[in-house]
Chain A
Amino acid sequence: MKQLWLSVVMVLLASCAAEIPRQPTTFIPSSEGEGHSRVIQVDEDADVRLPSGYSRSIRAGSIWKQSGTVEARAVYKAAKEVFTIEGTHVHEAYLLLDGNTLVGFFLPGESAVSWLKQKVTLKFH
């Protein structure tokens, strides 16, 4: 009987992922021809712990193109793929970099930003 209850609790917990915390923001897109569209390539895999409890990997070799800024941080969009983060729901996400530190994600579908509790240093060129 205990095992049955444990199974029920496990299923309930598994089906209740936390929301990605986010706050509205203003995205300032890069202007064409201003040289803001910097392209970077990630050198080493980086694991990111999301506030929802999920984790996400930024793969070595992935290419990102600067598409604008949010709150004075550079916003990079995945160049050849779609990058998402997940909590209760799935959100397309762009990297939010302060120098070489990943400080959060810009969620373009909601014009919102989700800050990371644990910032991650990215190695890229």
Chain B
Amino acid sequence: MRMLRCIGLFTLLAFLAGCAATGPKMSEVKSTIPALSQDQGRIYFYRTRSIFGAAITADLRVNGDVVGRSTRGSFFFVDRPAGNYEVASSTETEKKATFALSGRETKYVRTYVGMGILVGRIIPELVNADEAEKEMADLAYVESAKK
């Protein structure tokens, strides 16, 4: 019985580890990230390595366009003209975050899995730069979806 429990736990851990994104860390890609032009802002998206709801992923949309996916342990960014934006994710229900983006401004959107009725929900929230940069340091960079 004990052996079975060990195998079960090992399988679960391996499954959860397998859900985390892989890719270069922020420190490895930082120097390659282009500077923003006067009229463009940047939106970073990230999700920490929390194992709660690790297997749940969802597309992330900016004003209706899919820009990437919320995946455990990953981050990416998109550049957009200054303006008003709505970030949305859909699982069993749609959750949104709205904000304004100025030229040369950077906004940070953290996604996390919240409790749902049948499955977890991917919830986007705006985060301060200091907190976001600390949390993203250890995450894997993934490419955003091409427009």
A residues neighboring B (CB under 8 Å): 11-12, 14-15, 81-82, 84, 88-92, 107-111
CB distance from A88 to the nearest CB of B (A): 8
B residues 82-100 touching A (CB-CB < 8 Å): 84-86, 93, 95-100
Is B135 interfacial (CB 8 A cutoff)? no
Q: How far is the CA of A71 from the CA of B126 in the complex (A)?
A: 26
Size of B's binding interface in residues, CB under 8 A: 23
**Residue on A with the closest CB to B98?**
A109
16 A/B residue pairs, CB under 8 Å, sorted by A = A11-B117, A15-B114, A15-B115, A15-B117, A81-B128, A82-B107, A84-B97, A84-B126, A90-B96, A90-B97, A90-B125, A92-B98, A92-B126, A109-B85, A109-B99, A110-B86
Contact B107 A110 (CB under 8 A): no
Contact A107 B98 (CB under 8 A): yes
B residues 72-116 touching A (CB-CB < 8 Å): 84-86, 93, 95-100, 107-108, 114-116
**Residue on A with the closest CB to B92?**
A15
Do A84 and B125 form a contact, CB below 8 Å, given A89-B97, A90-B98, A92-B100? yes
Q: How far is the CA of A109 from the CA of B84 in the complex (A)?
A: 5
Note all chain B residues with C-beta closer than 8 A to A92.
Answer: 97-100, 126
Note all chain B residues with C-beta closer than 8 A to A11.
Answer: 115, 117
Q: How many A-B residue pairs have CB under 8 A?
A: 55
Note all chain A residues with C-beta closer than 8 A to B121.
Answer: 15
B residues 40-66 touching A (CB-CB < 8 Å): none
Is B12 interfacial (CB 8 A cutoff)? no
Is B13 interfacial (CB 8 A cutoff)? no
Contact A90 B124 (CB under 8 A): yes
Contact B98 A12 (CB under 8 A): no
Note all chain A residues with C-beta closer than 8 A to B97.
Answer: 84, 89-92
Note all chain A residues with C-beta closer than 8 A to B124.
Answer: 90
**Residue on A with the closest CB to B123?**
A90
Is B9 interfacial (CB 8 A cutoff)? no
Is B127 interfacial (CB 8 A cutoff)? yes
Q: How far is the CA of A2 from the CA of B54 in the complex (A)?
A: 31
